[in-house]
Structure formats: C-alpha cells, structure tokens
Structure 1
Amino acid sequence: MESIAKLFQKEEYYHAFQPICDLPGKNRLGYEALLRSKQAVNPEALFQTAKEKNELLELDTRSLQYALLSFFQSPDRCTNELLFVNIFPSTIVEDSFPAFIQGIARDFKPYLNQIVLEINESIMEGKVWNEPVFLERIDELRKAGILIALDDVGEGTTTFRKILEIAPDYIKIDRFFSQNLSESLEKQKVVRLLVEYCKDGAQLILEGVEEEEDFACAASLGVAIGQGYLFGKPGSLLGE
C-alpha cells in the first residue's frame, strides 16, 4: 500500500478551500483547508481509518504541511488572508510535534501569523484535552506566532472551562446554530451569549451559514465572521 506522503504527492489526497468572510460586508478574510480524497472517501472515514492503522499522526501532519504549501505558494490568494487548518489534540501532544512545528516555523516564517490551527474535537480524544502537555504545546504554538481556533463549539465536548484554559484567538460555533437561526429564539440566545463573551478576546465565527435570513440575523446579533455555502463552497483557490 502506498504511503500517505506518496498519496499527497500524487494528489490522491488534496485540499479544498472554503471562504471565511466578515459580517455584514461578506469580505473574504481567509479560507479553511479541507482534506479531500479522489476516491470520494468521507474525510471523517479517512481519519478514522488512519487512526485504526496508527497512521493518524502522519495523516494529520502531512495534511497540515500540504495545506500550507498549497495555500501560501498559490498566486491566486491575497497576501494577507488567513488559512484555517484542522489538527487533532492527539497530534499536538505527540513527542514529535515540537520538532514538526519548528520545521513549519522555519519553512513558513513569513506567514506564521496567518496560520490558524483549528483544534478538532473528538470524543475519542477527550482525555487528551486534560493532559498538562496539551496546554503547554498550545502555549508553544502561540510563542511561534501561530493562531489557535476551537472548532465546532456547542456541538461536541468543548466546555467553557476549555475555552477559558485555551483562550483561543477564534471560536467557531457549530453549524447547528446557524440553521434556522432567524426562527429560533433559543439559538439566538446562545449566539448572543458567545458574542458577548468574545467582545474583548476571541473572534467569533459562525459555521454553516447558508440562508440570507440567517446571515442577517447573525449580523444583527453581532457575529463578526461567517463560513458556509452562502459565502462559497469548498473548491480550488483559482475557482474563487
């Protein structure tokens, strides 16, 4: 079977890029890199298979490396745009991770303050969040100039304690809250609470925005940034 590195080199594995835009102007701030397979394998299944084969660390780090290469070497991006890339907590606590990040910091030195690592939630990895080394590594990433985002807040195992401990630069609200947001007073209460929390710290991103009325509602609640099909579907940078 071919190595993960070979699959990236042959572009069997590649990245699609989805725009992230400000509200209410819809100006593009950056993109999220989303791992894809030419075999049309569900990305979650891809990572699950890698985990079962003890290849999750390699897939996660290779994916990050190739996403950065694809984005920052592209002539089709604006020079000040951010790149959001997912990473698993289990990767962050690996012994080899500091050396890997040193290499990233060396190879992408001009762009470090444009790299946002989205910490991926996973029930399977819940214990990792509580390991002392996890917060130490987050601190090391910050010292390198890399930004931190918490992904899918409100959907998985993220608690306010984790938000306080990690103090992310970006908080991404799960798409559940954007769906029919304009019709749900309960969802609006939660979004308004997070908007208030983020006033003096993290920037809030609402995921899964698809309808104009939900976009307008989010903007009226004070959400600063959005992501979803309303702003653009995942694709190539050239296609945007």
Structure 2
Amino acid sequence: MSIAKINDLIVNEKFEHHFQAIYDLHTLTPIGYEALLRTDLFTNPEILFEKASHTNRFFELEMRSIKKALHSFDTINRCTYNNKNILINVFPSNLADPDFLGQLNKILGETTLAANQVMIEINESEIIQNVDYFSTTVYELQEEGYLIAIDDVGKGVSSLQAIVELQPDFVKMDQYFAKHLAKSSRKQEMVKSIVTYCFNTDTKFVLEGIEIMEDLEMAKAIGVSTVQGFLLARPEPLEVIRKYEIDDSEDNGFCSEVNK
C-alpha cells in the first residue's frame, strides 16, 4: 500500500474498533474489553502498523486510534454503572514519546472514563530500546492512575525482563500457552510459574487464547483467574458490546440517546 493510502486512512480515520471481553473465571463476567483496530484496507491490522512505523505518522495513527477507541467505549461507560476497563495496545516507541501522556490525558478529559479504567497494553512486537527510560515513562503513567499491562508474555524476547523492571499491573500470557494446555504438562508448569510470580507480586494475570472447554478447565485448576479467548467471546463491533452491557444495566437516562 502506498504512503498516500496510509495517510488517507489516518487523516480520514478509515478504521473502527472491535472489542473483545476479558473474563473473570470466578464470576464468569467481563472485567473489561480490549480494543482491536479494524479497517477494510488491511485484513491484518499488524501489517498496517508495521507499514506506518516506517512513516512519520506512526505516532499520529496510534493517538487517533486511542482517541477513537476511548470515545467509542465511553458510550458504554455512560450507560452503565459497571465502570469496566478498556485495554488499548500501544507500541513502546509511541508510549515513550514525550507527547504521549499529555495527549492521552487530553483525550481522557473528553470522556467520562477514569484513568484507572484505561489499561495500556505494551505491544511486544517492538523491542524496548531503553528499559531505564521506559520504566520512568511507565511510572509516570501509573502515577496518573493508568493501568499497565505487558502483552503476549512468552512470545517476545524481552517480556520477562519487562515484567520485573516495569512492575506492570497486569501480565497477559501469550495464547501459545493456552492452546492444548490441558494436554501439555510443560505448558501447565510454565503457566503456573507465572501465576505464582503474579500472586506473590500483587500482579493480575490474564491467559490469552482460550478456545476449548478442556483448556479453560485446566487453566482454572492451575490457578488462572482471568482469561481471554474465542471460547468466551470473540471481538465484536461496538454496537454488539453496548447492547450486552446496557441490557445488563439500569438505564441512567443517557442510554436511550446513544442508541438512537
């Protein structure tokens, strides 16, 4: 795809977000939703971000995506009393940009969301170049009330170091470890080791990629309390998620307006 088409996508925001629920296994209810960018111009959004990362508009794309996701999710937040989390993926280079926190605070101020409802997932497809500097950036975000998650743990080369150095609020383990978990004693031991670390350091743990009941039952048996995967929920358009949430909540007077 040409630079012109990428620019067109960014400027005219030719993208939307689907939202995938993350479930608490004890209550079998969503604790939050991950915002996943979707566009008709790319079947795989990762290709879009990879191509955009070689342009001077990569940061702008990230911030426009975050703004659109937060504003969309806010229509759910205004209609419920649940105050669930929204998870947004951010590349390390953009997270470390000096303008990131200021722009994020400005976007948040345009919504009814609180900082502690916004979980920033650090994308593992990009290597963290300077862990010390990055740690300071993460600390500043946490001081503002934002939650930090390390995404796809076990997939990237730096994830274990990032867990120790960045002290995230959440650790999300890569879907590789969920696939055939019930049949693999080695995967079970690896998941249990991270679960134990998280428990002892007061860090929340999420296992991604749960697709069959046997793996869900095994995850629960070895101490996993929060999961994400197609078995429980696929990424859905905002309208679908909003209907689920509003149906389960008392109408606060605004819901009828956003559903017109």
Compute the TM-score of the two structures, normalised by the length of structure 2: 0.84
| Secondary structure at the counterpart of residue 50 of structure 2 | helix
Query: Deviation at 1:54?
Result: 2.5
Does the 8 Å contact 1:24/1:219 carry over to 2? Answer: no
Alignment partners' CA distance in 2, 1:177 and 1:7: 38
Does the 8 Å contact 1:23/1:219 carry over to 2? Answer: yes
Query: Deviation at 1:99?
Result: 2.3
Query: Deviation at 1:131?
Result: 4.6
Alignment partners' CA distance in 1, 2:131 and 2:166: 13
Q: How many residues align?
A: 234
The aligned residue for residue 252 of structure 2 is: none
Unaligned 5+ segments in structure 1 are none
The aligned residue for residue 34 of structure 2 is: 32
User: Structure 1 segments of 4 or more deviating over 4 A?
Assistant: 2-5, 75-78
The 1:167/1:109 distance shift into structure 2, 3 A limit, reads farther
Name the aligned partner's letter for residue 161 of structure 1.
Answer: Q
- What is the alpha-carbon root mean square deviation over aligned residues? 1.9
| Secondary structure at the counterpart of residue 83 of structure 1 | strand
The aligned residue for residue 214 of structure 1 is: 215
| Secondary structure at the counterpart of residue 36 of structure 2 | strand
Alignment partners' CA distance in 2, 1:171 and 1:51: 25
| Secondary structure at the counterpart of residue 148 of structure 1 | strand
**The structure with more radius of gyration:** 2
Name the aligned partner's letter for residue 178 of structure 2.
Answer: S
The aligned residue for residue 18 of structure 2 is: 16
Alignment partners' CA distance in 2, 1:216 and 1:136: 39
User: Per-residue displacement from partner, 1:46-73 (whole Å, max 9, x unpaired)?
Assistant: 1011112232111111111111010012
Alignment partners' CA distance in 2, 1:109 and 1:143: 19
The aligned residue for residue 97 of structure 1 is: 100
Name the aligned partner's letter for residue 151 of structure 2.
Answer: D
Unaligned 5+ segments in structure 2 are 242-260
Name the aligned partner's letter for residue 225 of structure 2.
Answer: A
Query: Deviation at 1:80?
Result: 1.6
The aligned residue for residue 113 of structure 1 is: 116
Query: Deviation at 1:101?
Result: 2.8
Name the aligned partner's letter for residue 217 of structure 1.
Answer: M
Query: Deviation at 1:159?
Result: 3.9
Larger displacement relative to structure 2 (98-107 or 80-89): 98-107
Does the 8 Å contact 1:17/1:236 carry over to 2? Answer: yes
